[in-house]
Chain A
Amino acid sequence: MVISPETRAAIDEAIARTPQPRGALLPALHLVQAEHGHISLELAAAVAEILGIRSGDVMEVVSFYDMFHARPQPRHHVSVCTNLPCSLRGARTLLAQLEAHCGVAAGEPTADGRLVLGREECLGACANAPVLRVDGTYHEKLDSEAARQLLDGLE
């Protein structure tokens, strides 16, 4: 796994925008993960080298932030917000229905690696609860039928 020239160029731009190269670490990790789906040890070492820091520093940051993944991921991340406002409007029931529909518990990927269902903390869309996030895109005010169709439509 190597960082493509395009991603490398974008990392260099991020470095130019911050006072110290390490300030580009979060942008670099977002870029690398967008390209490869996760941040392997090898990729972390490559990022470390670009920024002139230790790969341990990079891995520490990868594990601190929920949105960075050190391991390969299922093709889709589907998460249901289960914080209080969404729970008050049926989010936990919706999650249970989706678990049954997909035949997996939240946190376990489906056997075909198609998706993983998860719980999420408040997504900042509480007025439109319940809220589902599919690969970075919000879906709001979903009933369980619409949510099931959304999941079935994922490749």
Chain B
Amino acid sequence: MGPQVPLITNYLTQHFLDDAAVGLEGYERLGGYAALRRALENSPADLIELITSAGLQGRGGAGFSTGLKWSFMPADGELPKYLVCNGDESEPGSFKDRILMERGPHQLLEGILIAAWATGAEKTFLYVRGEYERPAEALERAIAEARARGIVGTNVCGSDFAHDIVVIRGAGAYICGEETGLLESLEGKKGQPRKKPPFPAQYGAFGRPTTVNNVETLCHVPHIVNNGADWFRGFGTEKSPGTTLFGVSGQIARPGLFELPLGTPLDELVFEHAGGPAADQRVKGVIPGGLSMPVLPADQLDVPMANEFLRERRTMLGTGGVMVMDERTCMVRASVVIAHFFRDESCGQCTQCREGTGWIHKLVERIERGAGVMEDITVLEDICAKMEGQTICAFADAAAWPIQGMLRHFRGEFEAHVVQRRCGFAESFEL
């Protein structure tokens, strides 16, 4: 069956080309679950220290220190405590977690069990995006195999540690990827994010202390336990260690999933690994980290793909979903697609977000049709500025950022639509 996309592999994905390594037997033959056994011989405090000193940062979008997050869990006190693995992956342009779940389910389970031991969780809720039927099945199969072999259950690998893993399937709502929206969804409610504080480490799933980690984040964990913090820091940059999975899509010769060190320059990713644009085309802009992240124009692709560098260019790594647009593409039209997505997915709790995403879509769409006026562009900027940092969750920021990026780098195209009263990109995709 194979991974079904072109891959560049490193430690996370090296077994993904081999169908036999998906099951428990194949995974163990390659040394699988050795890290878990080793972790169980260490104290939770030592493990948290190891992950902290390795500098692992969350791969779900925010880039928060994983070790620090684990340390927020109350070290003792009453059970139950929970771990939530966020497999809701719905950020447009991202497909890494799907492949990690489908092709490496035991690697993820091993990461989960180590994280659960380190944070004292008795149960993991593994929340898988509703559309991801095949990944959910792969995980159910892997959990059954692991349970039959005593790897999941009342005595994890023969130890006194008891842990159970439950797969919960989402049902088609982007906002359930936000960690507190996810917690509400787990509780059988609408996935509307909660006000913070309290944070999940105090009040999480079913009101209990909970750690929420992304699928990819947890997949790195067994490798750090096996090889150590210094080894992990041998990949990537000083501030952003390790590899990550870049999903490259759009107008590019070789779209695929590329596991490369953080800090790999964006132009290397686009032109070498993904083969560059079509022969007679030039790259116009690249969205570096999923649809929520501001675009970079062609003259800024020398940036190393790590947050400390991307921030200087006023964008972020997000989920590593790299979308390439060539010069045929109308950036106003691309903005309509972006604005439409965020308008539809706002959960509606906060006025700025509900109204703002509606207005952004309306204005961008009007400009694209050639029915806009110059003032629409300034109103657009104003609305985006008012949405940042004002709401219950970061969705509203995520809705404003990409539009701000488009206006920052391609304002001329918006103005041209207004002046010419039409779109001038004959070869762009049609809406």
A85 within 8 A of partner (CB): yes
Contact with A along B186-220 (1 / 0, CB 8 A): 11111100000000000001101000000000000
In the assembled complex, the CB of B178 is this many whole angstroms from the nearest CB of chain A, namely 14
Q: Given B4, B92, B169, B173, which contacts A122 in the complex, CB threshold below 8 Å?
A: B92
Do A127 and B248 touch (CB < 8 A)? yes
Q: Given A17, A19, A140, which contacts B206 in the complex, CB threshold below 8 Å?
A: A19
Which chain A residues border B208 with CB–CB below 8 Å? 19
Give the size of the chain B interface in residues (CB under 8 angstroms).
Answer: 62
Q: Give the interface residue-count category, chain A.
A: 35 or more
State in angstroms the CA–CA spacing of A22 and B95 once bound together. Answer: 30
Do A82 and B337 touch (CB < 8 A)? yes
Contact A124 B429, CB 8 Å, known A20-B206, A84-B250: no
Query: Nearest chain-B residue to A135 (Cβ)?
Result: B133
Do A124 and B129 touch (CB < 8 A)? yes
Do A84 and B185 touch (CB < 8 A)? no
In the assembled complex, the CB of B39 is this many whole angstroms from the nearest CB of chain A, namely 25
Q: Given A18, A122, A127, which contacts B5 in the complex, CB threshold below 8 Å?
A: A127
Which chain B residues border A29 with CB–CB below 8 Å? 171
A66 within 8 A of partner (CB): yes
Do A25 and B188 touch (CB < 8 A)? yes
Query: Nearest chain-A residue to B189 (Cβ)?
Result: A61
In the assembled complex, the CB of A52 is this many whole angstroms from the nearest CB of chain B, namely 11
In the assembled complex, the CB of A119 is this many whole angstroms from the nearest CB of chain B, namely 10
Do A122 and B90 touch (CB < 8 A)? yes
In the assembled complex, the CB of A79 is this many whole angstroms from the nearest CB of chain B, namely 10
B48 within 8 A of partner (CB): no
A4 within 8 A of partner (CB): no
State in angstroms the CA–CA spacing of A17 and B164 once bound together. Answer: 9
Q: Given B5, B171, B250, which contacts A89 in the complex, CB threshold below 8 Å?
A: B250
Chain A CB count within 10 A is highest, among B92, B187, B291, for: B92
Contact A65 B255, CB 8 Å, known A85-B93, A121-B344, A122-B93: no
Which chain A residues border B171 with CB–CB below 8 Å? 26, 29-30, 65-68
State in angstroms the CA–CA spacing of A51 and B187 once bound together. Answer: 12
Interface residues of A (CB under 8 A from B): 17-20, 22-27, 29-30, 51, 53, 57, 60-61, 64-68, 82-85, 87-90, 92-93, 96, 121-129, 133, 136-138, 140
> 8 A-B contacts, Cβ less than 8 Å apart?
A20-B206, A26-B188, A85-B323, A88-B429, A89-B251, A121-B345, A124-B132, A126-B92
